[in-house]
Amino acid sequence: MNNAAGTATQKRREGSSPLLKRLRGLTTVLLSIIATLVGLLFITFLIGRVMPIDPVLAIVGERASKEVYDAAYLSLGLDKPLIVQFGVFLQQVFTGDFGISRLTARPVSDDIIRVFPATLELASVATVFGVLFGVPMGVIAAVHQGKWQDQLIRLFGLFGYSMPIFWLGLMGLLIFYGILGWVGGPGRLDVFYDDLVPVITGMILVDSLIAGEIDIFWNAVSHIILPASLLGYYSLAYISRMTRSFMLEQLTQEYIITARVKGLSEHAVIWRHALGNVMIPLITVIALSYANLLEGSVLTEVIFAWPGLGQYLTTALLSADMNAVMGGTVVVGLIFIGLNLFSDFLYKVVDPRAR
């Protein structure tokens, strides 16, 4: 009887151990997310406090009387200890309240919801461009290591890293828009098409297709192709370099030699087996590249008058609109956290050993 009871207890423990492991893993992930988020918010809060910009003067103006200044100072809670101010800031952020923008006189959260789809659309097209061209180029460079194909691709990537984005943007507008007329100019659409498509997702390419406005869709394509190609060029250079590095490591593994000995074609060995294993770490590279494009397209958006998050943050910073700057900074940090989590999820989907 005792042996049977002990066996049953042991089986229950063994049966519950996978569930307990998953619960522990989920708890660890949640705690790490919370710690990262709180750390991000704390750093953002400190940046807003140490920057040489007086938030009170940014609101009341330099000609305001001392009474008006003091009243605004108290209303903002700047007389309270920093830890109390940080607690108020946390409460506001978790309720989606970033304050009122000094420039637009509207809630910062509403402004970010309005401008972010433009940045999302631009970065998504650029990432697709970078992946479609960067991955094959990295594979070809690794297969032909040391040969002219490898040297040419590495030189092409080095050029992408070295050229300033503002110079490439200006040259691109001058040549492809000003001289050749192959692409649309600055902005997301020609002025004639403004406000003709109902806003559903905020992304012109998607909304125009939903509305069945094919002319507006192609006009949007002509405007996005140049800035997305330039951003995609930087993404391509990074992705191709990392793909080449991962492939070089895989091509020396024993399973590649075994596959060749078994008579598999070189195409199958490289593009199915080697690239299949490379895709696991490459997912993280692509996710980080995407995050960098979402927050690093500031100069591109300014040059091409692209009404996205980058241009919004630049204008806010130049105008000392700290509510907008801090709100945008928090959103960018959340993007990085979210994409890191998403890449970890995809990593486990692609590689069952990581589950």
Contact 83, 265 (CB under 8 A): no
- Span 111-133, average pLDDT: 91
Q: What local confidence, expressed as pLDDT, does residue 352 receive?
A: 58
- Span 227-245, average pLDDT: 89
Q: pLDDT tens for residues 250-288? A: 888 888 888 888 888 888 888 888 888 888 788 888 888
* pLDDT reading at 225 higher than 70: yes
Output the pTM of the full model: 0.80
Non-local (6+) Cβ contacts of 108 within 8 A are 98, 99, 100, 101, 323, 324, 327, 328
- Span 73-97, average pLDDT: 79
Residue 325 tokens, joined: 């700057």
DSSP string for residues in 245-264? HHHHHHTTSHHHHHHHHTT-
Query: What are the residues facing 100 on neighbouring strands?
Result: 107
* Mean pLDDT, all residues of the chain: 81
* pLDDT reading at 13 higher than 70: no
CA-based R_g, the chain, Å: 26
Residue 64 φ then ψ, to 5° = -70, 150
Contact 112, 331 (CB under 8 A): yes
Q: pLDDT tens for residues 322-343? A: 788 888 888 888 887 888 777 7
Q: pLDDT tens for residues 163-178? A: 777 888 888 888 988 8
* pLDDT reading at 11 higher than 70: no
Contact 101, 108 (CB under 8 A): yes
Q: How confident is the model at residue 15 (pLDDT cuts 50, 70, 90)?
A: very low
Q: What local confidence, expressed as pLDDT, does residue 10 receive?
A: 54
Residue type, 101: S
Q: How confident is the model at residue 9 (pLDDT cuts 50, 70, 90)?
A: low
* pLDDT reading at 302 higher than 80: yes
Least confident of 58-62, 92-96, 132-136, 299-303: 58-62
Q: How confident is the model at residue 224 (pLDDT cuts 50, 70, 90)?
A: very high
- Span 312-326, average pLDDT: 81
